[in-house]
Amino acid sequence: MLPDKSDLTICFAHSAYRLADEYRSRGETARHLEVRTLDELGERIGEADVVVVSGFWRNAFVERAPRLRFIQSISAGTDQYDRALLREKRIRLASAQGANERAVAEHAMSLILALTRQLHLARDNQRNGAWRGMIGDPNAREKELGGSTLLVYGLGRIGSRLAALGRAFGMKVVGVKRSPQSASDPVDEVVAPDCFLEVLPRADYVALTCPLTPETEGLIGEAQLAAMKPSAYLINVARGRVVQEAPLLKALRDGGIAGAGLDTFHQEPLPPDSPFWGFDNVVITPHTAGETQLYERNIIDLLVENLARLHRGEMELKNGII
C-alpha cells in the first residue's frame, strides 16, 4: 500500500522531460523531487515511494529503495525491469503503453517517407548548397508508396496505427502477430511469427514495432536480411536488440537491402565511431520516436490515474505489469 498523499514522495527521473512541472500544473500537492542524471537517482531513490522513470532504471536500485512501492515507467517497453525482483519486493510496475503510440507510428512513417523521397540526401545537398539535377536512371529516383508492401512486425497499438497510415498511402499491409486471428482491420493480411521468413521477400518496407522479448531479441539477422529484397528498407522503432547489428551493417555495405531508418541501437547514445553514421542510405534518429510535445501530459495522466487506484486499494493498474 502507498502512504497517504501527505506522506508520499514521488521521484521524477529523466534527463530532459519536465514531468514535475506537468505534475504541479494539475494542482497535485504530494512531495516530489526531480533528478536529471543516473547518479542523482542513485543518491535519492531511497527517499521515494514512487519513481517515474525509464532509461535511468537499474535493478540494483531496489536495494537502496526501502520505501519504493510503485514504478510508473515513462516508456512502453519494460524489458529493463527485473519482474521477479520487483514481485519479491512487492513493488508494482506500470508501463506507458499508449502514451506514445501516435508519435511512434508517425515517426516510423516519417522514416519511410524520408527514405522513399530521399529527404536525407536533399538535406545534405542543401547544407552543401548543391542543386541536384534530374536523374536519368529510373532505379535511382525517388519512389512512390502506393502499391508497395509494408510488413509490420508487431500489431500492438503502435503497429496497428502504422498499418492504418500505410493503408492511407495506398500500401498493402501485411502484419505479423502472435495471435493472427485477433488482428483488426488496418491490415490486408496477418500471419504468425513462424511465417515471418516466408513473407519477408514480398515486403518493400519492413517495420519493427514489437516489444523486446526473448522471442524478438535478434529477430532480424543474416537469414532475415537475406530474405529481403535488395530494394527493401528496414525500419526499427522497436528496441535496438531486436536487430543483429553486424549482419545489418553487412547488408547495408553489400547492397543486400536498399537502406534503413533506425531509431534504436544496441548502445545508446550511438558512439561517434559507429559505422552506422557513415551510410548515405541510413536515416538515424536518437531514440526519439516517442518524443512529442504532449508526452509529459500523457505520462502524468497515467501516473495520476494509477496513484488514485493504488490509494483506493485497487489491484488493477492502467497498463499494469506487476
Contact 187, 155 (CB under 8 A): yes
**Strand locations in the chain (E):** 9-13, 31-35, 50-53, 70-73, 92-94, 149-153, 172-176, 189-191, 205-208, 233-236, 259-262, 282-284
Residue of 268, 297, 312, 316 marked active site: 268
Residue 207 C-alpha cell reads as 517495420
Q: How far apart are CA 115 and CA 174, in angstroms?
A: 20
- Dihedral sign computed on CA atoms, order 84, 85, 88, 91: negative
Q: How far apart are CA 83 and CA 87, in angstroms?
A: 6
Q: Where are the alpha helices (DSSP H) in the chain?
A: 19-25, 38-44, 83-88, 101-116, 119-127, 157-168, 196-199, 222-227, 245-254, 295-311
Among candidate residues 259, 238, 219, 232, the one with its CA nearest the CA of residue 76:
238
Residue of 239, 291, 312, 314 marked active site: 239
Confirm whether 43 is a catalytic residue.
no
Among candidate residues 184, 219, 214, 145, the one with its CA nearest the CA of residue 175:
184
Confirm whether 268 is a catalytic residue.
yes
Residue of 44, 107, 287, 296 marked active site: 287
- Read off the amino acid at residue 181: Q
**Exposure of 93 in the CB half-sphere (CA atoms within 13 A):** 26
Confirm whether 287 is a catalytic residue.
yes
Q: How far apart are CA 50 and CA 48, in angstroms?
A: 5
Active site members: 239, 268, 287
